[in-house]
Amino acid sequence: MKLLGAFFRLIRYPNLIYIGLTQFLLQYCVVEPLLASSGEKPSLSVLCFVLLSISTVLVAAAGYIINDYFDINIDIINKPEKMVLDKIISRRWAMAWHTILNMAGVSIGFIVAWKIGQIYLGFTQVICSLLLWFYSTSFKRQVLIGNVVISLLTALSVVVVGFYEKQIYESLEAIMSQVGRRLIQIIGVYALFAFVISMVREVVKDLEDMIGDSKDGCRTIPIVWGVLPAKSFCYGLLLGLQLLLLLVEIRIAIPGWYLAIGYLLLLVQAPAVYIYILLRKAHLPEHYHKISSLIKLVMLTGILSMIFFKIYL
């Protein structure tokens, strides 16, 4: 049981649940109701959607393993009490599981792409796998690029569901149809939300891990730019997030989605303001860790807002 628990910690199972939940809500609270309103059905069957979600989760799990594999020297300094590799699971087994999960995730992705007749979509998982590898080996040690790569991959976990809908892959005419445009707009907003909030969290994590990162030669934003500029960067991202949410609230006020507006104000915007306040005061690793955990909570409440499309559409 100890080994099994260590394995689940290694693959960051709460984050994998986030990914699966995001894709489930997008498919069945946004895509399906939106298509049903125009008398259409999703391109993915229930089985194909489940396989696509499993594929995404497996590739992400492999990414977490390889990240820990190359971060051992950093984790010894930053979080020795949370380490799994070399303490419970050997490096050799970690690399084996990384390979197995990657191969399984990519293979399942190609099977789903083949089932809908768009085999090229299978390369989405290949690209994600390669980006996660290069992130762990190189990108995360460079200024900004590592943060951008992870944030793009977070957004891609949302967008990938849309890739498999014929309104997006079939033709320009399908994209420009009313349903196609609405689908792209909604998925685009959630992808942008995921990208921005993930960028904030990545920089906050860099602030938390500065000591270990600097000793390992990493050139993260706080190390190269400084703590105050890194915080200012986060302030700008949080402001952009607030503007995005404001635009969404104005848009959904037109059809009278007032319950959704109240939800966003109370459970997404207000916590984002609280994050800003905490970040201004933060100066210790434990402060940044608390902020990082709160950002994950805002990510969850943002994801759960998809439920309102099921209610109103």
Q: Residue 156: CB partners within 8 Å, gap ≥ 6?
A: 124, 128, 191
User: How do the domains of the chain map onto residue ranges?
Assistant: 2-312
Give the helix ranges, DSSP H, for 138-177.
145-163, 166-169, 172-176
The per-residue pLDDT for 2 is 75
The C-alpha angle 273, 195, 35, rounded to 5 degrees, equals: 105
H helix intervals, 37-142: 46-70, 72-78, 91-115, 123-137
pLDDT of residue 1: 67
Question: What is the spatial distance between Cα 309 and Cα 213, in angstroms, rounded to a whole number?
Answer: 42
pTM of this structure: 0.93
Instruction: Give which of 52, 181, 163 is closest to 118, Cα–Cα.
Output: 163
Q: What is the pLDDT of residue 88?
A: 82
Positions of the chain with pLDDT lower than 50, given as ranges = none
CA distance 256 to 260: 9
Q: 184 near 162, Cβ under 8 Å?
A: yes
